[in-house]
Amino acid sequence: MTTLQTEVLVIGGGATGAGVAWDAALRGFDTILVDRRDLGEGTSGRFHGLLHSGGRYAVKDPHAATECIEENLILRHIASDTIEDTGGLFVSTPDDDPAYGDRFLQGCKDTGVPAEEVDVAEVLKREPRLNPRIKRAFTVPDANIDAWKCIWALADGATRHGARILTYHSVVALHRDGDAVTGARLRNELTGEELDVEAGFTLSAAGAWAAEIAHMAGVEGVRVAPGKGIMIAMNHRLVNTVVNRCTMPADGDILVPIRTVSVIGTTDIRTAHPDEIPVTQEEVDQMLDDGETLVPGFRDARALRVWAGVRPLFEDVKTGDTESTRDIGRSHAVLDHLERDGLKGFVTMTGGKWTTFRLMAQDMVDVMCRQLGEDRACRTREERLPGSEDGETYQLGHRLRVRERELQDEQLVCECELISRSRLETAMRERGTANLDDIRRNLRLGMGPCQGGFCIYRATGMLHAIGRQDGPSAAGSLVSFLQERWKGVWPILYGDQLRQARLDDWIYQGALDVEHAPATAPVGAAPPEVREAAADGLKVSAA
């Protein structure tokens, strides 16, 4: 069996784990980061896209609000290329108590969140689709952040400082030597091969799965309540500013414009297991109704895709539980298992928010340094990530500008997301993956209105042509991609998206008959049970 050696093993390749690997590598630790799937496939790739200003927590959770605004400012500096500075609004809709606005303003003042009341008529000029009956409006420095761009920049930065990134490697056991954790047994999910990592320190950043990892170390009493939330992407930017309802945090009260779409969310429902997060029709209907409150006519707009994620909400069994996950604090919890359980070489991080991942990583690596007696300062406040060296934030229209420059020389593979052939080919070669879904996350391939309808057969042909896959495995990649997309489309089949789904169906089932293509499962595909469920969906669409 292969054995790898490292000073630090990081479990979990979400925002937190990637942030921890970046932080540890910058402090000069030899680091390995592992994830059971691709980077950002857990909650971090399924979130709402909001870089919080802290306004949302200003009244209810002042500590979280202050953390958010501080981290918001730091991330704008170190990860500028992944952030679009849309600005944010808090608005009192006709269903909200306008007096809450005063508490909101006071809360922002107390927590350091810059907020200002603005003229409603001006706001409606700026955002003409907003409910014309809003009574008050406040500006805050909300923004959006591109999950995968940021996580891959963290991973890239860590790699440049010597870290090794192992995707599709599950931790199946933790090794213990007396009162110390000494590493982990991994399973390569692509080959089935097992390998050992001998690590001086093991840092668990497994989010909603943190309790499972703690259990592997023999630690009991760590409980993470998975709080499910659903979000719906609408096919264009109904607003250009992040819009929050000015009320206590509730369901469906934020609309985030990100890239070419806008995303309404979210719910918060306790679920039994982080891998079981089905989307129900009732949740979809509630979300569309909530959208109407912010933007009248919301239901008539075209919904592109729905998905769900799970909040890793830490519950300390010693201090008692709460049943509603929205009431569990959004701050993070770093568990020093030496202090808590007498176990050396092992720290757990859970809870928190995307916006605060850098701080969480810093806290976690600080705890490790303390245990090791090492005095190595954190550098992630100042050090810019690869791609963000010039400090420029992402500008909407960037891809179009690039596209217009190369109009005559380049074929366009994905019209919705303006992805050229050379860009896609480069990504396929550099990622070293033949899984189209992995490439989707890097380039946003197939994420526009046709949900892959017109680009995925072209991308499949390219995979085959550049020699990454033989015919059956390329066909397997294609089917797997379609099944993944279908999971997010079927709960919102109405209006134009239903027409689009029928067209896609004619292309793939009618013209190409993909269901009967001699396909093998692609590397890194969803597990068999997920594939089967999705395949059933595909057949329903063909009926």
Sites of contact with ligand FAD (CB under 6 A): 11-17, 34-37, 41-44, 47-50, 52, 170-171, 205-209, 229, 231, 265-266, 309-312, 352-355
263 or 474, CB closer to ligand FAD?
263
Nearest approach in angstroms of CB 327 to ligand FAD is 15
150 or 475, CB closer to ligand FAD?
150
49 or 522, CB closer to ligand FAD?
49
Nearest approach in angstroms of CB 197 to ligand FAD is 11
337 or 464, CB closer to ligand FAD?
337
79 or 208, CB closer to ligand FAD?
208
| Long-range Cβ contact pairs of 120-123 (< 8 A, separation 24 or more) | 123/89, 123/91
Cα angle 492, 496, 500; round to 5: 85
Nearest approach in angstroms of CB 310 to ligand FAD is 5
Contact yes or no for 19/132 (Cβ under 8 A): no
Nearest approach in angstroms of CB 184 to ligand FAD is 8
Task: Name the residue type at position 56.
Answer: R
Q: State whether the Cα torsion 448-449-455-459 is positive or negative.
A: positive
163 or 463, CB closer to ligand FAD?
163
Q: Report how far residue 249's alpha carbon sits from residue 145's, in angstroms, rounded to the nearest whole number.
A: 20
Q: Where are the beta strands (DSSP E) in 278-405?
A: 303-316, 332-336, 346-351
Nearest approach in angstroms of CB 257 to ligand FAD is 13
DSSP-based three-state secondary structure for 44: helix
232 or 418, CB closer to ligand FAD?
232
Question: Before 280, cis peptide (omega within 30)?
Answer: no
Nearest approach in angstroms of CB 144 to ligand FAD is 9
367 or 478, CB closer to ligand FAD?
367
Q: Report how far residue 246's alpha carbon sits from residue 108's, in angstroms, rounded to the nearest whole number.
A: 12
159 or 188, CB closer to ligand FAD?
188
194 or 425, CB closer to ligand FAD?
194
CB atoms within 10 A of CB 94: 11
CB atoms within 10 A of CB 488: 18
Terminal alpha carbon distance of the chain: 48
Q: In which region does residue 397 sit, left (phi positive, over 0), alpha (psi from -120 to 50) or beta (all else)?
A: left
Nearest approach in angstroms of CB 15 to ligand FAD is 5
Q: Report how far residue 148's alpha carbon sits from residue 143's, in angstroms, rounded to the nearest whole number.
A: 16
Q: Which two tokens stand for residue 197?
A: 């990592």
Nearest approach in angstroms of CB 298 to ligand FAD is 19
Contact yes or no for 352/224 (Cβ under 8 A): no
Nearby residues of 497 by Cβ (< 8 Å), 6 or more positions away = 235, 302, 303, 304, 489
Nearest approach in angstroms of CB 432 to ligand FAD is 19
DSSP-based three-state secondary structure for 73: helix
Nearest approach in angstroms of CB 395 to ligand FAD is 21
Q: What are phi and psi of 372, to 5 degrees?
A: -80, -10
Contact yes or no for 252/264 (Cβ under 8 A): yes
Q: Where are the beta strands (DSSP E) in 178-302?
A: 180-188, 194-204, 222-234, 242-245, 254-258, 261-265, 269-270
Residue closest to ligand FAD when measured from CB atoms: 14
40 or 476, CB closer to ligand FAD?
40
Nearest approach in angstroms of CB 350 to ligand FAD is 7
- The burial class, CB within 10 Å (0-12 / 13-18 / 19+), for 3 is exposed
Q: Report how far residue 145's alpha carbon sits from residue 422's, in angstroms, rounded to the nearest whole number.
A: 26
